[in-house]
Structure 1
Amino acid sequence: MRGERTMADYQRACRELDAYLARATPAQLKARSAGTRWNNEELLFHMVFGFMVVQALVPLVKMVSRLPRPWGRAFARTLNAATVPFDIVNFWGSRAAALVFNHRRMSRKMHATTRQLTAALEGESPASLARCMDFPGRWDPFFQPSMALADVYAYPTLHFDFHARQLSLGADG
């Protein structure tokens, strides 16, 4: 079942985050990541933030998927039109939030968020997981033009794994 795989991926991401945080030195956390403008600590928070975003997306998908399809498409087009401001908020928001959910606090946030997502996912029916919504594909490479709720639940580990390859924590990080 896809939900079981998604929940296992949540657990794996938690273990990997904990390992990164346990091994990274303060200098490695402050070093620039590979291929982003964030340092490693900011990028690690951004990876956690992907899970937090899903907490907001789940009710949104449930609501928008009930609207007439043209309305959902218009909503996605409107969000795509706002890509530049979204990118600015995404960058600076992750940078600022990493000051609060820094290396000492982000693991707790990740574990709490994935516990909440797991509980929500376990309560979903197959019909609910199949509900679809049009997405702003320009916002994220893992957003497809249309995504089922099951895809939304699976999204944060795709996002996490992608950004994990951009960490520059070194051989011992």
Structure 2
Amino acid sequence: MADELLDRRAVHDELEQARTTFHHLLDGAGEADLARATRGTRWNNEQLLFHMLFGYMVVLALLILVRLFGRLPRGISRAFAALLNAATRPFDVINYLGPLGAVKVYGRRRMGAKFDRVIATLHRRLDAESAADLARGMHYPVRWDPFFKDFMTLADIYRYPVQHFDFHRQQLTLASQG
């Protein structure tokens, strides 16, 4: 059943592709590249790269939430998602401001190392998931992210960060993208 829900090999490959791409983008960027404005966001390239990393970091928290809410009646996660949807404006502000400060703390070297650690953790957790775990799900605040669906399983959550990453990669204006 687990293989019906999720092609684990494909997800492992996608995680590795994202890791390789992230390092290529980060390592190929000069200071001027990182400071350059992005397409369609108010962030510069360095800030958007952190946001892309953060999308993977968020998945670690989402895995915990799915395990919790996936064991409760669906109405509870539906109410939680509605509450989060109602808080979209403050979320948007925090989502924007977070990378502004985070790049001052993380910097290029720490972002690359953190990306590696998060991907390694996702690999380990994916390998440990049972079919029952992958089938658990919960409702999500669809106003928070265009890739959130109203109801997502744990299998869906493992697919989410690649969508987020690929979308934002198109907004970067790095010379190393070519």
After TM superposition, list the pairs within 5 Å mapping 1:1-173 onto structure 2: 1=3, 2-170=7-175
Q: CA deviation at 1:127?
A: 1.3
Q: CA deviation at 1:117?
A: 0.9
How far apart, CA to CA, are the structure 2 residues paired with 1:172 and 1:54? 25
Higher alpha-carbon deviation: 163-172 or 33-42: 163-172
In the alignment, structure 2 segments of 5+ residues that lack a partner are: none
Letter in 2 for 1:157: V
Report SS of the residue matched to 1:89.
helix
How far apart, CA to CA, are the structure 1 residues paired with 2:130 and 2:69? 17
Q: CA deviation at 1:171?
A: 6.3
How far apart, CA to CA, are the structure 1 residues paired with 2:141 and 2:177? 37
Q: CA deviation at 1:172?
A: 6.3
**Maintained 8 Å contact 1:55/1:117:** yes
Change (3 A) 1:148 1:25: same
In the alignment, structure 1 segments of 5+ residues that lack a partner are: none
User: 1:82-136: per-residue Cα shift (whole Å, max 9, x none)?
Assistant: 0000011111012111211221211100000010111011000111101110000
Letter in 2 for 1:38: W
% same residue: 47
**Maintained 8 Å contact 2:25/2:177:** no
Q: CA deviation at 1:170?
A: 3.2
Give the ranges of 4+ consecutive aligned residues of structure 1 lying more than 4 Å apart after TM superposition: none
Q: TM-score, normalised by structure 2?
A: 0.93
How many residues get paired? 173
How far apart, CA to CA, are the structure 2 residues paired with 1:115 and 1:28? 28
Q: TM-score, normalised by structure 1?
A: 0.96
Report SS of the residue matched to 1:29.
helix
How far apart, CA to CA, are the structure 1 residues paired with 2:167 and 2:104? 22
Q: CA deviation at 1:49?
A: 0.4
* Structure in which a larger fraction of residues adopt helix: 2
How far apart, CA to CA, are the structure 2 residues paired with 1:172 and 1:51? 20
